[in-house]
């Protein structure tokens, strides 16, 4: 299964990176000095490690080859795909936290809250779905949302004729705990985005950068602003 990724992006941080000369960005990654301006992580959320992203940016620079050291990314004379590859990495760098979930599991978390049936896993890559979801959970609290997810999961199991007796299936309690933790983190990232105005970056693991969104904009639109 492939993860859908929702990332809480500090737009000011990303804008600063995109306005910097690309040579400064790359040298800052190489010397690790640019870590000083990475936004703080939200405590309840995970995100990609500094060292991993630094390595990916340096690999990108090696792959692309010669660049204009004094020019920002958008004005580089390189291919659009290469620009978007780096933009995606810099967006992850500007993330304050991310949430990952198997796309098949997302039905359990989104459908009970919205009361709508999703047409397929591709629906979860649409910003409007998460906008509607955000509006819906604004009317509930974290504990109630988690409870609704667990109740829906239990009812789906029962409809399939699966037992809810832990003595008959030892995976039930660990799976329930996993759903509680995952749905709680989803609530946290969506709630913080709504309350503080940080855009969500939405995509899927291994998805090409052309198909990622920041807020309601495709990455392509974002870099052309």
- Measured CA to CA, the distance from residue 47 to residue 93 in angstroms comes to 9
What is the reported pLDDT for 48?
Answer: 95
What is the pTM for the complete model shown? 0.89
Q: Where are the domains of the chain?
A: 10-99+218-224, 102-195
Which H or E element spans position 200?
A: strand 200-204
- The per-residue b/e assignment along 9-45, b for 16 or more CB within 10 angstroms, e otherwise, is bbeebbeebbebbbeebbebbeeeebeeebbeebeeb
How confident is the model over 36-86, as pLDDT tens digits? Answer: 999 999 988 999 999 999 999 999 999 998 899 999 999 999 999 999 999
For the ranges 89-98, 114-123, 214-223, the lowest mean pLDDT is seen at 114-123
User: Residues with Cβ < 8 Å from 180, sequence gap 6 or more?
Assistant: 146, 149, 150
What is the reported pLDDT for 172?
Answer: 77
């Amino acid at each position: 299964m492939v993860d859908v990724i929702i990332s809480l992006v500090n737009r000011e941080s990303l804008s600063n990176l995109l306005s910097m000369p690309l040579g400064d960005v790359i040298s800052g990654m190489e010397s690790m000095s640019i870590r000083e301006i990475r936004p703080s992580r939200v405590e309840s959320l995970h995100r990609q490690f500094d060292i991993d992203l630094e390595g990916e940016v340096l690999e990108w620079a090696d792959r692309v080859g010669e660049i204009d050291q004094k020019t920002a990314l958008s004005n580089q004379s390189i291919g659009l795909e290469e620009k978007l590859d780096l933009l995606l990495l810099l967006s992850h760098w500007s993330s304050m936290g991310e949430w990952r979930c198997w796309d098949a599991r997302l039905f359990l978390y989104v459908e009970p809250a919205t009361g709508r049936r999703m047409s397929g896993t591709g629906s979860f890559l649409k910003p409007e779905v998460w906008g509607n979801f955000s509006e819906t959970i604004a009317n509930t609290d974290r504990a109630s949302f988690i409870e609704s997810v667990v109740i829906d999961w239990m009812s789906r199991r029962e409809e399939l004729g699966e037992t809810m007796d832990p003595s008959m299936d030892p995976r039930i309690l660990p799976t329930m705990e996993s759903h509680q933790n995952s749905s709680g983190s989803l609530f946290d990232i969506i709630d913080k985005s709504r309350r503080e105005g940080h855009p969500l970056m939405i995509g899927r693991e291994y998805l090409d950068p052309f198909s990622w969104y920041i807020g309601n904009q495709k990455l392509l639109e974002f870099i052309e602003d």
